[in-house]
Amino acid sequence: MAIKTSSAMNGFISDDPRLTYGQDGTPRFYARVGVKHFERLGDGKFKRLSNSYHDLIQFGSAAELSYERFSKGDEFVAQGQVRDYTRDVDGQERTDEQFVATRISHDPNTTTYTVERRAPDAERDAPQRESVDRDGADRDGADRQARLGSAEPVAQDTAATAEAVAR
């Protein structure tokens, strides 16, 4: 089976996001976003170029979640697609691009955050098959359940991990 791929973009929220509702009541998240650009120089360094600015939108219940979670200045990674749209600007028809996001997340490379895991959904997280780590240790559903249900990080034996990776 082929790997499913989609377009992505990363940037920062440049203005306060807005949440509006269509005539049918569908939520719509809108944010003006900036993208930082760089040029690679011959010596391996980078030169900062001017930012570009774009429209990012999202629909449905995800739009309401994004509106709650994102503020001006937040850096993000978004998955979705680019589409053209036409609008009237001062009596002239103008075509622009917008990024239609299916998923948006804070950029983990630039954002400090805490992960709050939900309780596992029994149907979604049901083990499909038994898996075995490279070192041969079984990872059955009970072990996975224990790790996911715990708010504490799981300690790892770094020596055993390094040995398993080296094999």
Structural domain contains residue 45: yes
Q: Are residues 92 and 30 in the same domain?
A: yes
Structural domain contains residue 158: no
Q: How many domains does the chain have?
A: 2
The answer on pLDDT for 85 being more than 80 is yes
| Dist CA 64 CA 81 (whole Å) | 19
Q: Are residues 98 and 123 in the same domain?
A: no
Q: Are residues 68 and 26 in the same domain?
A: yes
Structural domain contains residue 93: yes
Beta strand pairing call for 52-59 and 92-106:
parallel
Residues 6+ apart with CB under 8 A from 111: 74, 75
Structural domain contains residue 157: no
**Chain segment 87-137, per-residue pLDDT in tens:** 898 999 999 999 999 999 999 999 998 888 988 876 665 555 544 444 444
Structural domain contains residue 57: yes
Q: Specify the pLDDT at position 121.
A: 75
Structural domain contains residue 113: no
Which CATH number is 37's domain given? 2.40.50.140
Whether residue 135 contacts residue 163, with contact meaning beta carbons closer than 8 Å, is answered with: yes
Strand partners, 101: 80
Structural domain contains residue 29: yes
Structural domain contains residue 160: no
DSSP label at residue 26: -
Whether residue 67 contacts residue 19, with contact meaning beta carbons closer than 8 Å, is answered with: yes
State which residues form the domain around 141.
119-151
Whether residue 67 contacts residue 74, with contact meaning beta carbons closer than 8 Å, is answered with: no
Q: Are residues 61 and 94 in the same domain?
A: yes
Q: Are residues 35 and 92 in the same domain?
A: yes
**Chain segment 15-70, per-residue pLDDT in tens:** 999 999 999 999 999 999 999 999 999 898 999 999 999 999 999 999 999 999 99
Q: Are residues 21 and 80 in the same domain?
A: yes
Residue 44 burial (C-beta neighbours within 10 Å; 0-12, 13-18, 19+)? exposed
**Chain segment 50-61, per-residue pLDDT in tens:** 999 999 999 999
Q: Specify the pLDDT at position 120.
A: 83
Q: Are residues 141 and 98 in the same domain?
A: no
Q: Specify the pLDDT at position 128.
A: 56
CA count, 13 A, side-chain hemisphere, 95 = 3
Answer with the residue of higher pLDDT: 26 or 138.
26
Q: What is the pTM of this model?
A: 0.67
- pLDDT band (50, 70, 90) for residue 157: very low
Q: Specify the pLDDT at position 132.
A: 46
Q: Are residues 67 and 141 in the same domain?
A: no
